[in-house]
Chains A and B, each alone.
Chain A
């Protein structure tokens, strides 16, 4: 019997306690950030869309190998001797023409594993997160700065160089071997 009334009292009491909490919260100012109107300031280490500074890229392929989802595809072509590709911002001399540097940002899992191995710190994550596109293909970002004509030219240059080298090798192989000192012939008894 006593438990019965205790139940009734306890029930009503906890309901009122709960109501008091929600009533207090009526007067707490709202914590919503009104997104499109208010620009949220993101922290400096924020990991959103990738960006590659092609001036610094030496084409070492480290980022592509580190990526767990294989969203970076890089193709390079060796430069012919005598060409000056310039230096990166920390003084390294570049030796490779980067002919293809595609990042499929739709595949990227934003893990940041590509940022750490880069020796020149040219690939990094920015804080841009509003980059929706209408076409899925537009999410494949091409970062190369060479025009297709230039790329074709670099490739053909390299192909010519290779061809020359191969021709030289073939010429060296086909040419008569250099004269060796005559082998001592044994006098036949």
Chain B
């Protein structure tokens, strides 16, 4: 006679050390096996899209920072690309190159947070601090350029707010030489660690079909083995001038598309970003970065959709303009929001501890999920 069991509803509530922000995950458990996961979001909703209808185009830039606050340069870049498409202006090449350098440095910083917090969720506290130590160097570079460490207001539609600091190029090159052995150390400490591999390989396997059907982008899609990166497949800015590779998941320690693959894609992307930064520094032209910034941004009537490759996926801005100084409608396609939808599919028949590993590999930022 079977024992009567009941399904337990466990709430990984908004306040939890590992849910990367205020996310509520409602788990239906059978013992330790998950039957269903329902994410509840909205705890960080700040009415960003509605608020944009009341602000002028330059005033929206500080607000775009605050969506995905760990990858702020990417957000600003997406917005700038969208508005410039709407205005139809041509940018000086120096602006484009500096934007690429900033975006790639931001990618490194964002992936460091993702990797560090992923290690901390799994239980290894030390790589978290090492990752943040390296992130400090990147934030110092941003600080000398625009004065802020996290929410920059640097990439404006039409140009940049400041030109590079005179020491920036030298310090960035020093950073690139400093950072390469740190990736090796992180690999030794975390990526090749048997316990880490046991926790993340064959866990949360995302088949490619499912990923494409759900609209997953970014390292999650690349972890499932598909080479899709907007920087190569739909190039914006000057990305077509650089030589870099798109890492994909190969199922080295398990199946293609498991958590280890996504984590490995992030590590390899950091290496590629360092390559791009070095190439951009070599090719950096001279010029004036503020010359193309329009005095008043009053675009023509129309709408535009522009997308960039954020560290978390494809960030898209859809702007509808009716000719005024504020957009009529600004809609943001946040990659974390779309990627979060995959939680139920990934967590089926895994254990509670795996939910943490899977959520860490999805790498969400609640500011972007809720806007």
Contacts and interface: CB of A to CB of B under 8 A. Distances in A.
A41 to B, nearest CB: 11
A47 B147 CA distance: 5
Interface string B314-327: 00000000000000
A10 B194 contact: yes
A113 B62 contact: yes
Interface string B134-155: 0010000001111110010100
A135 interface: no
Given A45-B144, A45-B145, A21 B188 contact: yes
B304 interface: no
Contact of A66 (B59, B133, B147): B59
B348 interface: no
B185 interface: yes
A113 B153 contact: yes
Interface in A71-122: 109-113, 116
Nearest to B198: A11
Contact of B62 (A11, A17, A42, A111): A111
A46 B147 contact: yes
Nearest to B162: A45
A176 interface: no
Given A31-B133, A68-B59, A116-B161, A47 B148 contact: yes
A115 B227 CA distance: 44
Given A109-B62, A112-B153, A46 B185 contact: no
B263 interface: no
A113 B297 CA distance: 15
A128 to B, nearest CB: 13
Contacts of A31: 133, 136
A112 B147 contact: yes
A68 B193 contact: no
Interface in A1-37: 7, 10-11, 13-15, 17-18, 20-22, 25, 31
A31 B165 CA distance: 24
B301 interface: no
A134 B224 CA distance: 53
A68 B147 contact: no
A113 to B, nearest CB: 7
B11 interface: no
Interface string B269-284: 0000000000000000
A73 to B, nearest CB: 16
Interface string B55-69: 100111111000000
A70 to B, nearest CB: 10
A125 B153 CA distance: 14
Contacts of B126: 22, 25
B189 interface: yes
A14 B59 contact: no
A43 interface: yes
Contacts of B194: 7, 10-11, 13-15
A14 to B, nearest CB: 4
Given A45-B162, A68-B60, A113-B62, 19 more contacts: A11-B194, A11-B195, A13-B194, A14-B195, A17-B193, A21-B185, A25-B130, A43-B147, A45-B144, A45-B147, A66-B58, A66-B59, A68-B59, A109-B62, A110-B148, A110-B151, A111-B151, A111-B153, A113-B59
Closest 4 CB pairs of A and B: A111-B62, A47-B147, A68-B59, A45-B147
